[in-house]
Amino acid sequence: MANKPVILIGNGGHATVLTDILLQQNCSIIGFTAPSIQENRFGIPYLGTDDVIDSYNSDDIELVLGLGSIAVSKVREKIFLQFKEKGYTFSQVIHQSAVISPYCMLGEGVQVMAGTVTEAFVEIADNTIINTSSSINHDCRIGKHCHIAPGTTLSGNVTVGDLTHIGTGSTVIQNVQIGSQVLIGAGSLVLRTIGDNSKAFGVPAKEV
């Protein structure tokens, strides 16, 4: 949870979900950034493009990255690293209904949405999204800048590399390794290792 007033980057669907969580937790939201002036459904003020963040002291605020993704995307990584280099901190956002073992390690800026379960000895690296109703079972290790889309199940001891997208409603069986920059299509059943930089989908999932 944010310890300082927050600036939200983005104003789309993912940002909407995050804003809802932040407001329910009584976080102070200074405003949001977006490429052009936009209305916000919660009445959060528009601050300007992302450059406006530079005018805030990095000790006084935290950032929340509100851009989602529907496939492998380096945009979230780029923005995260750009502001980390300038000394800013990204707040974790964790919905109050998320069940998270105290024996987990969650990196900076990790977002864990409503109805998720994250079990013991799971490691989730920086800037990764565990989206609504996902289940991350014991000993899973998930890399940086990943998106585990809504309703996904990772069984025990699954590893996922950086920048990987696991599509909505997928299931991965135990001990499987999924590489970096992998796109798993929605509704897939992953039974075997999937190598780096690949796309796979279906039941069972096949690389394409």
Ligand X SMILES: CC(C)(COP(=O)(O)OP(=O)(O)OC[C@H]1O[C@@H](n2cnc3c(N)ncnc32)[C@H](O)[C@@H]1OP(=O)(O)O)[C@@H](O)C(=O)NCCC(=O)NCCS
Which chain residues interact with ligand X by CB under 6 A? 68, 70-71, 131, 149-150, 167-168, 183, 185-187, 201-202
What whole-number distance in Å separates Cα of residue 164 and Cα of residue 199? Answer: 10
What whole-number distance in Å separates Cα of residue 70 and Cα of residue 92? Answer: 21
| Least spacing, CB of residue 124 vs ligand X, in Å | 17
Output 80 or 201, the one with its CB closest to ligand X: 201
Output 143 or 185, the one with its CB closest to ligand X: 185
Tokens, residue 124 = 């989730």
**Across the chain, how many H-helices and E-strands are there?**
2, 23
| Least spacing, CB of residue 70 vs ligand X, in Å | 4
| Least spacing, CB of residue 152 vs ligand X, in Å | 9
Output 5 or 187, the one with its CB closest to ligand X: 187
| Least spacing, CB of residue 9 vs ligand X, in Å | 17
> 132, 150 in Cβ contact below 8 A?
yes
Pairing mode of beta strands 189-190, 199-201: unpaired
